[in-house]
Structure 1
Amino acid sequence: MTYPLTLTQAIAVVVYIAVKVEEGFTDFISTRELAAALGIAPPTATKIVQSLTRAGLVETREGAKGGIRLARPSEKITLLDVLHAGEQDRPLFRTDLTHALTGGRPDVIRRRVAENLRQAEDAMKASLAGTTIADLHRNT
């Protein structure tokens, strides 16, 4: 199982913008520039930017001087924020699958599997919450 590539791409987009800010670039960065620099298809970059905008992580402006920039400092954006932007709080693991097995033992097993996957998701989210975008691009 793999998580969507767009999560990694969204992280790359936010880090790219953060690095540009750190280098003194304070204008908006075009989505076209982002897509080209990161090797992301322009339609995919547009969808990622839309998700990040809805989540309040970036802001956009239309027009010749338009583009995208961070809505808050990179120290205030965690990897969990980026995950939530794309996944919109959907669970990472689906545990609601139905099958023909019923009764005590299958139900206990199903609950145990669901609980273990929930714990794994909680641990992953805690790790992501502890890492900011600034942690990724500073002191490299």
Structure 2
Amino acid sequence: MKRNSRLSLALHTLSHMAHAPDNLRKSADIAAHAGTNPVVVRRVLGSLRQAGLLVSEAGHSGGWRLARPPQEITLADVYLALDERLAAPKTDDTAHSCNVEHVLHDRVSKVMAEVEQTLIQKLSETTILEIRDSAD
């Protein structure tokens, strides 16, 4: 998995957090470990917080920790929390009305939606705890 993707960053971070789920982790420490910027980390972890996968505590001694036990967080939960989709949403661009483009978009979108459903199903079969345990 490429190291610069949001999904890769999120899964890597949560897998490390699974070793000590109640410990708070600072964005700067996560960023240093992942080789990225703390702002990027905060954006990604903020999406996970909104999805109920993480909680954050503000302040000098604050940080991020898992909101649920790692055995209850699947890779699909993380993928869906980041709201990244394989199929691009259809736009209502009437100014550019090429029939080939419309048919192509509809067909490709249908295939991509089916592929994504399979991806989500497969990701739902693995938990963060399983990743942690496999890495030990």
SS at match of 1:93: coil
Match of 2:11 in 1: 11
Tell me, yes or no, if the aligned pair for 1:19 and 1:137 is still in contact at 8 Å.
yes
Tell me, yes or no, if the aligned pair for 1:9 and 1:40 is still in contact at 8 Å.
no
Confirm whether residue 102 of structure 1 aligns to residue 96 of structure 2.
no
Deviations 1:74-118, CA, capped at 9 Å, x for gaps: 11001111112211xx64212626664438xx74x5543332221
Match of 1:130 in 2: 125
Structure 1 stretches of 5 or more lacking a match? Answer: none
SS at match of 2:65: strand
Distance in structure 2 (CA, Å) of the matches to 1:81 and 1:56: 10
Tell me, yes or no, if the aligned pair for 2:90 and 2:105 is still in contact at 8 Å.
no
Q: TM-score, normalised by structure 2?
A: 0.80
Deviation of residue 61 (structure 1)? 0.8
Distance in structure 1 (CA, Å) of the matches to 2:72 and 2:33: 24
Give the counterpart letter for 1:14 in structure 2. L
The list of structure 1 runs, each at least 4 consecutive aligned residues, that deviate by more than 3 angstroms after superposition, is 97-101, 109-112
Percent identical residues: 27
Matched residue count: 129
Q: TM-score, normalised by structure 1?
A: 0.78
SS at match of 1:40: coil
Confirm whether residue 70 of structure 1 aligns to residue 66 of structure 2.
yes
| Structure label with greater radius of gyration | 1
